[in-house]
Chain A
Amino acid sequence: MTDFYQSQRAMRNMRQAALQRGVIAVLDVGTSKIACLVLRFDSPDDPREDGLGSLAGQSRFRVIGAATTRSRGVKFGEIHSMGETERAIRTAVQAAQKMAQTRVDHVIACFAGAQPRSYGLAGLVDLADGQVSESDVARALAACDIPDFGAGREVLHAHPVNFAIDHRSGFGDPRGHVGNQLSVDMHLLTIDTPAVQNLLYCIRRCDLEIAGIASSSYLAGLASLVEDEQELGAACIDMGGGATGLSIFIKKHMIFAESVRLGGDHVTSDISKGLQVPMATAERIKTIHGGVHATGMDDREMIEVGGDSGDWDKDRRRISRTELIGIMRPRVEEILEEVRAILDAAGFDQLRSQQIVLTGGASQIPGLDMMAARILGQNVRLGRPLRVQGLPQAATGAAFSAAVGLCLFAAHPQDECWDFAIPAERYPARSLRRAVKWFKDNW
């Protein structure tokens, strides 16, 4: 567990340095678009007693630059072509820098893919002196038995979700409480190492320092779930271009995250194949005329498909909107069915409140909420991200949930297990042995 401590801590330190400097960029590397926002932090050092400022700490920053560019070379939320992705990141960062009129050196990135997998862990320690101290929390976190998630996977998030002292559970912050035993529930999210390495490499090639990295399904939940939904329990479904992220929140902590490797781009490619049109045309037809519920009027609404072949018959094709819906609907249903399967596997039906929030670019298909209500459950709503200061109107849509969530993550990150000190007994034995050897050699 110590190895990723180091890299995550380095990122945390970098984030602190960026906040000191006052300017940080957030980068959402998605399948259909790459969004870059430049944040300016006004007063980085006035923490209140509870660690929050006004507006839950969101008034501390302001978006001073925003840019999006069409993503190239990203598939299923993972980097597919390094050069193309690097150029797309460069485009977005340069445009955002130009709007902000400042240079950005630190960037916090998020991405949807890399097959996130959730683990729930539990740790239990005896309290030596009755009262819970910070080192006890660290010991409890270190006592969690890490599952064997296999080589080539890395821990992305490790949130302590719940603390229990003896038989009392539900503590957010157990420090100072008196008891005999401290137990902790921790949520661990692992991802594929190569996918992360690729992303980090691309960002480094753009002369930027990584100040943090996060999963976009987590961030979409952070941005689009309102506070009581996060508290009572809700699932956020972030329907992106190439991957659909899913995160379940309860008591303001993420307890589960997964992603389906299907998204809006698959709907577009279905239209492209079904209508024999290029992807760009298919995308345009989808966004302008798309839908998932056919009505009688849709039979009469004819859509010019177009084509650049020079053949009159092919270029003058017209289809009814019903046909288009007939192409889109099975794919959307498939995505939602996959989500449903994951929710069932995660035990979402055990939660008291089963609110489902749809967000992300693909959630803007008209009629999606009705269909989702049929497949996922009755409590479905469409979510848009929280409003943050200075965000351009064009970037307030559902497609920017992850980017806005990244802003909130940059301003006010949740405690992760590497924010606590490593307990002494967990230090690698090798260094202790070396210290003993040094004493033996010298005395």
Chain B
Amino acid sequence: MQSLRADRRDRSERPGPRDPAPSRLAYRAERLWLTPGFRRMVRLGLPSFLILAATVGYLGDSGRRDALQAKLVDLRLSVENRPEFMIELMAVDGASEPVARAVRSMLPVTLPASSFRIDLPAMRAAIEQIDAVASAELFVRKGGILQVTITERVPAILWRNGAALEMLDATGNRVATLLDRSARPDLPVIAGEGADEHVPEALTLIRTARPILGRLRGLVWMGERRWDLVLDRDQRIMLPEIDPVPALQRVIALDQAEDLLGRDLVAVDMRNEARPTLRLKPAGDGQDEIQAKVDGQ
């Protein structure tokens, strides 16, 4: 049996035929919404403006800004100080004791410290600033060890620079300052201003002068352009600027053939290749004569 009230309820839900026409307001709103500029403004402009306004409003207060910053710093520290990132100790390989001590003192933080605190490239550059260090490799090994592998410079020559005596390596880089010549009697000595920039040439000359090595006292860089070989008994071999090695070989050949350097010479002047000159000791110096007699000449 049908309810008597069903029909009435039905009618209240559908009061007459629906008008499909939009109201004037709805029509205008839809047209406004279909306007491209307005649409873009609502979809992009409005949200970005709201986000911007909210951000500015929140950060406008300095207390909130500081709290936010403190929170960020805390977060960063908590990540940095995790045990995975901590460096417990430092291992220095390939360095002599004083260099290793210097390297250890260059570490900017006290261990244990977070590896985020150590700028490895900067530290490597700093270590390579040490004169005795040719190159350095830094890396953080497993287990929190900062591994520093150092290649030291090998001293090849001594350079007397005024009062100081510097050790130089084969390329002319300074290794260390020596207080006493007798500390390294095995190294040859060079002297003269700017001599350190011509160390390879000096080493070649020294290698060439091997037959007279016992008499060689050192090399002098003259006038910042050429070498003099200084022998004992105040003898000098003055070499030309260009091609000093053949000139030296000539002198050594002469010495081996004629015992040139054993004679009473002050200098062998090879500066002019076409006109080698020997400078004898001035005569009349009685002391020398006696000495010559003593020497049996």
Contact = CB atoms under 8 A, between A and B. Distances in A.
A91 B31 contact: no
Contacts of A91: 20-22
Interface residues of B, number: 12
B21 to A, nearest CB: 4
B20 A206 contact: no
Interface in B1-50: 19-22, 24, 27-28, 30-31, 34-36
A94 B30 contact: yes
B35 A94 contact: no
Contacts of B20: 69, 91
A69 B19 CA distance: 11
Interface in B167-221: none
B24 to A, nearest CB: 8
Q: Which of B19, B22, B31, B36 has the most C-beta atoms of chain A within 10 angstroms of its own C-beta?
A: B31
B34 A101 contact: yes
A88 B22 CA distance: 9
B27 A90 contact: yes
Contacts of A101: 34
B107 to A, nearest CB: 67
Contacts of B34: 97-98, 101-103
Given A97-B34, A103-B34, A103-B35, A207 B21 contact: no
B21 A88 contact: yes
Contacts of B35: 103
A97 B35 CA distance: 11
Given A87-B21, A91-B21, A103-B35, A206 B30 contact: no
A98 B22 CA distance: 13
Nearest to A93: B27
A103 B31 contact: yes
Interface in A94-112: 94, 97-98, 101-103
Contacts of B19: 87
A207 B28 contact: yes
Nearest to B39: A103
A87 B30 CA distance: 15
Contacts of B30: 94, 97-98
Nearest to B30: A94
Contacts of B28: 207
A contacts with B: majority SS: helix
Interface string A66-82: 00010000000000000
B contacts with A: majority SS: helix
A163 B20 CA distance: 50
A279 to B, nearest CB: 13
A392 B202 CA distance: 98
Contacts of A97: 30-31, 34
A156 B67 CA distance: 76
A206 B24 CA distance: 8
Nearest to A87: B21
A31 B100 CA distance: 104
Contacts of A207: 27-28, 31
Interface in A46-71: 69
Contacts of A206: 27
A333 to B, nearest CB: 34
A94 B33 CA distance: 12
A91 B21 CA distance: 5
B253 to A, nearest CB: 96
A98 B27 CA distance: 11
A103 B32 CA distance: 8
Nearest to B38: A103
Contacts of B27: 90, 93-94, 206-207
A424 B1 CA distance: 87
B272 to A, nearest CB: 91
Nearest to B28: A207
A91 B27 CA distance: 8
A202 B21 CA distance: 14
A423 B24 CA distance: 45
Interface in A152-192: none
Contacts of A87: 19, 21
A143 B24 CA distance: 47
Nearest to A206: B27
Contacts of B36: 102-103
A98 B36 CA distance: 13
Interface in A18-57: none
Q: Which of B21, B24, B27, B28 has the most C-beta atoms of chain A within 10 angstroms of its own C-beta?
A: B21
Nearest to A88: B21
Contacts of B24: 90
Nearest to B32: A103
A88 B27 CA distance: 12
A93 B30 CA distance: 11
A87 B28 CA distance: 13
A69 B20 CA distance: 9
Nearest to A205: B24
A98 B35 CA distance: 12
Contacts of A93: 27
A90 B20 CA distance: 10
A373 B144 CA distance: 105
Contacts of A103: 31, 34-36
Contacts of A90: 21-22, 24, 27
A96 to B, nearest CB: 11
B11 to A, nearest CB: 14
Nearest to A83: B21
Interface in A380-403: none
A87 to B, nearest CB: 4
Given A90-B24, A90-B27, 5 more contacts: A91-B21, A94-B22, A94-B30, A101-B34, A207-B27
Ranked nearest first, the 6 interchain pairs of A and B with the lowest CB-CB distance are A87-B21, A103-B34, A91-B21, A90-B27, A103-B35, A94-B22
17 contacts: A69-B20, A87-B19, A87-B21, A88-B21, A90-B22, A90-B27, A91-B21, A91-B22, A94-B31, A97-B30, A98-B30, A98-B34, A101-B34, A102-B34, A102-B36, A103-B35, A207-B31
